[in-house]
Structures are given as structure tokens and as C-alpha cells.
Structure 1
Amino acid sequence: MSKVIIGITSFCGEEKDKKFNKVRCSYVNAVYKAGGVPVVIPPFNNLKLSAQYIDLIDALILSGGNDITPAIYGESKLPQVKDNNINRDKWEIDLFKKAYQSNLPILGICRGMQLINVALGGSLYQDIDFQLNCDLPHLPLDLQRKKNLEYEKHKVDILKNTQLDKILCSEKIHVNSHHHQAIKNLADDLTISAKSECGITEAVEAKNHAFLIGVQWHPEDLIERISCFNNLFSALVDSAAEK
């Protein structure tokens, strides 16, 4: 059986006055460990190129990153929103919509889950601390943890009889957490498949799509500590291989 190609979105970052296309190595490693061939997709301003990537790949991972521009979901920007990039937002929304229409398997991680919701017509809480009554911290509390996502932050409840429930090993699972935004209004095409202890949406999946899952945590950073999270990437690869 030929290997399946998994596209992973990236962003343009700057280091020492030079710009690089960047994505955490853990995304690439997780796909490779699951048996897929990872291909990093750079962001482009030319949306015509997105169709060429959809023709190239067998499945899509929407990676984490900066805040999504609130104007896209019809809201004014709060002061707590930082470092949004409208060009990346438009590129990834277009890429997602083409993948969705082509029925490609899709996995959204952190920002990627939020982008799926926004692209399908949902909205976000722009800042959890400002807009929600949740005592559970979702951002790292110290500098060391800001640099390392390979830790378990809080517990999430996986909803029964969901696709995610069939993939993961437990109905209650400890996850890492590195976000200050969350889903507010859920898109009509989605259903919730996991929640945090204070009710924040931690995972979603599509009602009518073979494989579309979004998780708010970073499973790619936990696969060495919690082998169960390998199942999520294996399920993505297996779904792509079946097409």
C-alpha cells in the first residue's frame, strides 16, 4: 500500500531578521509515527494555489498558532487579541473549505479547531479570562511551560458515542493547554465531542463528514507520554488510506 500524504499548515515567522516557514517538529513526528508522509504547507496570499495542495495531499492538519482575526466572524477586536494575521486566516480558511468540499480527512489542533468552527460559520470567545467565568487556567503559568507543551494541564471529558470516543482510550483524559480563546457559537455542521471541567468546548467533529475532528489541546506534544494520542493521528492516516 502506498503511503498517504498528510499536509500540515505552517506560518511565516521571523528570526534574526530572516523569515522562515515554521511549524513545530512534533506535528511532523506524529504524522510520521502514524505511518503518513508529512508535507509542510506554507501560507500564501495567492488563494489559487490552495487547490494544487488539495490535489497533492490525502489529508489535512490545521496547526496551532496565533489568534484568528475577529472581523472574520463578525466581531470587533478586543485588546486581548494579539498577533492575528488576516492573510494566514484567509489562506487556511480557503484551504480548509476546499479540503472539506473534497471530503479529505481533516484534523484541527488548537487554533486549527477554532479555524474549522469559524470557517463553517461559528464564532469564538476572544479571551477566556475576560469573557468566561472559568477558574481553570488554559494558558501556561510560568516561563518554563510556555516553552514546553509536553505536560498535562487539566482534564477533559470525552462525550460518549462520538467519533473521538471511539478513537481515544478513556472518557476522561488529561491534556495540555495553550490557548486563551475558545469556541463560542458552534457551527451548524459541527457537534461537540469533548468539554473541559468548566464547560469549555475542547473537541468537535463534523455531523456529515467521514473524518473531521478538532481538538483544543496539542496531542502531538504528548504522544511520548500518553500513547493514546497516537490513535488520533493513526485514525487520520487510516481514514486517508481508505479514500
Structure 2
Amino acid sequence: MKPFIAIIVGTEESSWISIKQQFNVIKNAGGIPGVFLPDGDPEDIVDIADAIVLTDGPDVHPYFYGADPSPYIRSVDYDRDKFEIELFKLALKRDVPVLGISRGMHIMNVAMDGTLYQDIASEIPKAIKHDWDIRQTNPHQRLHGIRLKTASKVYEAIKDYLEVSSTNETFIHVNSFHHQAVKKVGEGFKPIAFSIDGITEAIEREEGFYVGVQWRPEYLPEMIGLYKALINAARESQYRRIERENTEMQEELLSGNEM
């Protein structure tokens, strides 16, 4: 059975821009995609999903990382933040793989007590341009370079699709549609990609598949490898869940027979 991938989106227009693209790339990678709004009980999603994709959207409210709003912060969605942070923590606890994209990476980082730059341009004067408008700029374009550590899940996932090779780091070009960024890396995560100005462009955990990327991988051909890695992790998660359910069922049957 193909693994079921839950895509979490907000209600604002910007959250729906790439949904068709997400659907296509997940199907091409071997998964079954489904869209969920950030409401209700997060546990319901974790119960049925073999993996989760946290998508882009508004800024993460600074309340969740112990800060007050900067004058440069843009729109926020407190309820979505709260829902997705709880969802990520449950997924981590239940061994459900998660891919965080742009805002999704920020949610993962904040969920593990990390912090964010509320606005790159005002807080990092020498920063390059990161906040291109996806509605005005073709998202398939390469907008800046990044250094990607080869000792990482992301590199292992996409290396066969790259025309470059390296020992410690490799340089690739990505799209870029964000004005916030990871500041303090959350507990259990490590930064594995950086732009020339030092901004963290990807994070991941050693155990399991919990990967966050700052760019929009659904628009970049080589990133099909990242989605395939997610699907493989989802398939393994699916097997483990089925085994647990079978074990629980057998234990219930044995308990009933003993009575």
C-alpha cells in the first residue's frame, strides 16, 4: 500500500499556491497526498498519516519562541502555529516522518525551543535578498546559492540528481521566498545548509526523518530525491505502525482468551 502523506496548509491564498505542485511531486515520488487544514485535533492526523508535510504560509508568531513582535513582522496565524507545533511534537513522539518547507521548517525549529530572525533584512544588514515574491517571480528559478553539507540526509537524497560532487560540502542553487530565518537552532536539530550570508537554509535530526528546508523543493527537479526519501521513510513508518497494531490486536485477543 502506498504511504499516505498529509499536507498541512493554511486558509490564506499564499498557502494554496503550490498545492497542485505538492500533489504532483508526492504522487511522482510514490505517495498518496491529502490536504488538511490546521484545525481540529492534531492527533487525528498523526493517527492516519505515514508522513507529514508542513508547508509555507505566514510568519510564525514570536510568542512561541519567547519574543515580542518586531515592527517588521508580517501576517501571523496564532491558531495555525499552535496546531502545527503540537502536530510536529506528536509526529516526533509517534515516529511519523516530517518534511518542513520554509515556514514549515520554522515551525519545526520553534517546536524544539529554537528561535527565529523575525526579519532578515532589518536584523542582518549584510544579508543577500531572500524575500522574493512567489506571485511575481517564477518559482522554478534559481535565486541564490547555498552550501550543503554532504554528511546530511538532504545531500544523500538528492546527490544522484546533481552534476557536482564533493567531500565535505557541495554548492547548489535554490529558489527563495522568505523574510524570516532560523536564528537559534532547536534542540536535536543540526544546520546542514547555509547561504553566503550565513543564513541557515536546512536543518535535520540525526534520528528518523525530520527535515526542514528553507527553499521550495516542489519546484526544483533534483528535489524529487528529497520527496522519494520522505516516501521511503513514510513506508517504513507505515510498516512499523502496522506491526504495532497487529501486536496490540494479538495481545487483546490473548487477554480475552485468558478471561
**TM-score, reference length from structure 1:** 0.89
Give deviations 1:189-213, integer Å, cap 9, x for gaps.
1001111111100000013x21111
Number of matched pairs: 227
Which residue in 1 is equivalent to 2:178?
179
Would you say the 8 A contact 1:128–1:134 is kept in 2? no
Task: Tell me whether 1:31 sits opposite 2:26 in the alignment.
Answer: yes
In 1, the alpha carbon distance for the partners of 2:109 and 2:227 equals 20
SS at match of 2:12: strand
Letter in 2 for 1:4: P
Which residue in 2 is equivalent to 1:7?
6
TM-aligned CA deviation for residue 142 of structure 1: 9.3
Larger Rg: 2
Structure 1 residues without counterparts, runs of 5 or longer: 16-20
Would you say the 8 A contact 2:192–2:203 is kept in 1? yes
Q: Which has the higher helix share?
A: 2
- Alignment map for 1:53-72 (pairs within 5 Å): 53-72=45-64
Would you say the 8 A contact 1:11–1:23 is kept in 2? no
Task: Tell me whether 1:105 sits opposite 2:104 in the alignment.
Answer: no
In 2, the alpha carbon distance for the partners of 1:88 and 1:98 equals 15
In 2, the alpha carbon distance for the partners of 1:142 and 1:7 equals 23
Structure 1 stretches of at least 4 aligned residues deviating more than 3 Å after TM superposition? none
In 2, the alpha carbon distance for the partners of 1:83 and 1:74 equals 18
TM-aligned CA deviation for residue 241 of structure 1: 0.9
Which residue in 1 is equivalent to 2:146?
156
Would you say the 8 A contact 1:64–1:109 is kept in 2? yes
Which residue in 2 is equivalent to 1:144?
136
Which residue in 1 is equivalent to 2:204?
205
From 102, 118, 138, the equivalent of 1:126 is: 118
**More divergent stretch after superposition (89-98 vs 132-141):** 132-141
Task: Tell me whether 1:95 sits opposite 2:87 in the alignment.
Answer: yes
TM-aligned CA deviation for residue 141 of structure 1: 6.8
From 228, 233, 237, the equivalent of 1:239 is: 233
Give deviations 1:83-135, integer Å, cap 9, x for gaps.
10100100111111111111111100000001100001000000000001334
**More divergent stretch after superposition (23-32 vs 197-206):** 23-32
Structure 2 residues without counterparts, runs of 5 or longer: 165-169, 238-259
Q: Which has the higher strand share?
A: 1
In 1, the alpha carbon distance for the partners of 2:152 and 2:13 equals 40
What is the CA RMSD across the aligned residues, in angstroms? Answer: 1.8
From 52, 58, 73, the equivalent of 2:65 is: 73
In 2, the alpha carbon distance for the partners of 1:172 and 1:112 equals 23
Which residue in 2 is equivalent to 1:18?
none
**TM-score, reference length from structure 2:** 0.83
Identity score, percent: 36
